Amino acid sequence: MRTVAIVGVGLIGGSFGLALRQAGFPGSILGVSSPGTIEGAIRCGAIDQGVSLEEAAGTADLVFLAQPIYGIIATIEKLKPILGRHTLVTDAGSTKQVITEAARAFLPAGNFLGGHPMAGGEKRGVEAGRADLFQGRRWILDVNEANADNSTTRVLRKWIAEFGANEVVMDAATHDRLVAWASHLPQLASTALASAIQDSMPNARAVAGPGLLDMTRLALSSWDLWNDILETNKPEVAAALDGYIAKLQALRSDMGREFANGSGFAAELRK
């Protein structure tokens, strides 16, 4: 793997470039983004130079798509006529099924490896990028029969391990079902909590403690980040919301049982 192209050089894309450099990647790192972003990304050391998507698709061994979900899908369609024969395309989209379907429609099966580095932060943009963003975090990869033997797949997996990330192999449908509960539902639970207090009892701020701060941290996320995620995982998110609402109703009738159940899960999660 001599040349990597990052499409969408924001927090995740920029951190990918920084992590590659810190882990000792000696090749060339290209960026595809707006001129202002490219300038900032070069200044941060996340990429070496900006190029067009055509140039990236024709010269890179690996194309890393780190845009919002619908941006990734649009890029996959554009890549169809211009992608190099051996170039591997991977992505960082937070849902995997719609992206995987787009890849199935437009790219050869052996040239696409769906991915989801489970890392992020409250700040956005390449300026917030960090070489250690992926350290200790899970990195979901949809390794399958078609893409497993691509030589760039093997090299990418090695670099992901070098970043200190924990690779988890999982297909797109399983991924989307599990993140609906582990990521999308917690986001909605936090947003709903903050919004309910804002509407019904804003004075509760006067007695807020660390518990409320923890429970409203995710609510700081903005809609433009989440719009694509929730839109592309609707049935799973709806099922998770239903399960959560039913559980809140059950809490009223048997608080003791739910407490034991909840604290058991919370403790397991920390093992």
CA distance 218 to 241: 16
Question: Given phi > 0 = left and psi -120 to 50 = alpha, else beta, which region is 143?
Answer: beta
Answer positive or negative: Cα dihedral of 115, 88, 171, 102: positive
CA distance 229 to 237: 10
Nearest to 187 by CA among 159, 163, 218, 209: 218
Question: Which is closer to its own copies, CB of 105 or CB of 208?
Answer: 208
Give the shortest CB-65-to-its own copies separation in angstroms.
Answer: 20
Question: Which is closer to its own copies, CB of 108 or CB of 186?
Answer: 186
Give the shortest CB-27-to-its own copies separation in angstroms.
Answer: 30
Question: Which is closer to its own copies, CB of 145 or CB of 268?
Answer: 268
Give the shortest CB-168-to-its own copies separation in angstroms.
Answer: 6
Q: What pairs with residue 213 in β-bridges? A: none
Token pair listed for 165: 């990330």
Question: Which is closer to its own copies, CB of 81 or CB of 210?
Answer: 210
Token pair listed for 257: 């049982």
Give the shortest CB-59-to-its own copies separation in angstroms.
Answer: 34
Question: Which is closer to its own copies, CB of 35 or CB of 256?
Answer: 256
Distances (CA, A) of 92 to 9, 30, 117, 238, 265: 12, 17, 6, 23, 28
Catalogue the E-assigned strands of 70-223: 88-91, 112-113, 115-117, 138-141, 166-169
Question: Which is closer to its own copies, CB of 109 or CB of 168?
Answer: 168
Give the shortest CB-3-to-its own copies separation in angstroms.
Answer: 31
Give the shortest CB-150-to-its own copies separation in angstroms.
Answer: 24
Question: Which is closer to its own copies, CB of 105 or CB of 260?
Answer: 260
Give the shortest CB-205-to-its own copies separation in angstroms.
Answer: 6
Question: Which is closer to its own copies, CB of 86 or CB of 217?
Answer: 217
Between the CA atoms of 201, 206, 207 and 213, what dihedral angle is there, to the nearest 10 degrees? 80
Token pair listed for 212: 């409320």
Helix, strand, or coil here: 139? strand
Give the shortest CB-222-to-its own copies separation in angstroms.
Answer: 6
CA distance 121 to 130: 10
